Amino acid sequence: MSSEQSYPKANALNLSKQDVFKKAEQIAMELGYSIAGDLSTIVTKLGGSIEYVNLEKWYKTQDASIVVHAPDNFQIYISNFTGFLRNRFSIAHELGHYFLHSNRGEKQIQAARSGSDKCEWEANWFAAAFLMPNDKFKEIHKKYSGDMDFVAAHFLVSRKAADVRYQSIN
């Protein structure tokens, strides 16, 4: 994360998984996100930016992170050393922090994607539902006869992300 600014760490809202799923799907619709769509356009539309970081900065940011200054001013930091599908999920995860934990930028926060606390779970739940909405996921799962490789490819997520989403829906 940026060493120039230090804001409070994001805190969990203690929402249920289903409540986070619902919020994520509503926000995706509100933003006009289409399945497998470009997330950088959404970040830019919201007033944010994405910075792909080098090895030294990556070590400090622990894979992915976000710093939220204001409603139309935030930075997402993503590693140069992770793949396209992981980066998509990481960007959606950081958007989860933006929408849930900073209340669309109303609270200045910073969050690093590390550890396994409720705040990180909420951001992961958000990312999964944002990228793979419940009804569409079920439709695509049926279309491909449960072949999770095809399901993952359809949503442009990793096989693991698709498997976890499947488990959370069923």
Closest CA to 127 of 159, 167, 98, 170: 98
Q: Is the pLDDT of residue 16 over 80?
A: yes
CA-nearest of 138, 152, 168, 37 to 91 is 37
- Widest Cα–Cα separation across the chain: 50
Query: 123-135, pLDDT tens digit by residue?
Result: 999 999 999 999 9
> Helix crossing, 134-143 with 159-169: angle to 10°?
110
The rounded percent of the chain whose pLDDT value lies above 70 is: 91
Q: Which of 8, 12, 9 is nearest to 122 (CA)?
A: 12
Q: pLDDT-derived band of residue 2, with 50, 70 and 90 as boundaries?
A: very low
- Can you give the residue ranges of every domain in the chain? 17-131
pLDDT digits (tens, 9 = 90+) for 101-157: 999 999 999 998 666 789 999 999 999 999 999 999 999 999 999 999 999 999 999
| C-alpha torsion 147→150→154→156, nearest 10 | 110
Lowest mean pLDDT among 29-33, 48-52, 54-58, 149-153: 54-58
Strands across the sheet containing 109-112:
48-53, 73-79, 64-70, 109-112
* Domain 17-131 sits in CATH 1.10.4160: no
104, 79 contact by CB (below 8 A): no
Which has the closest alpha carbon to 49: 69, 32, 29? 69
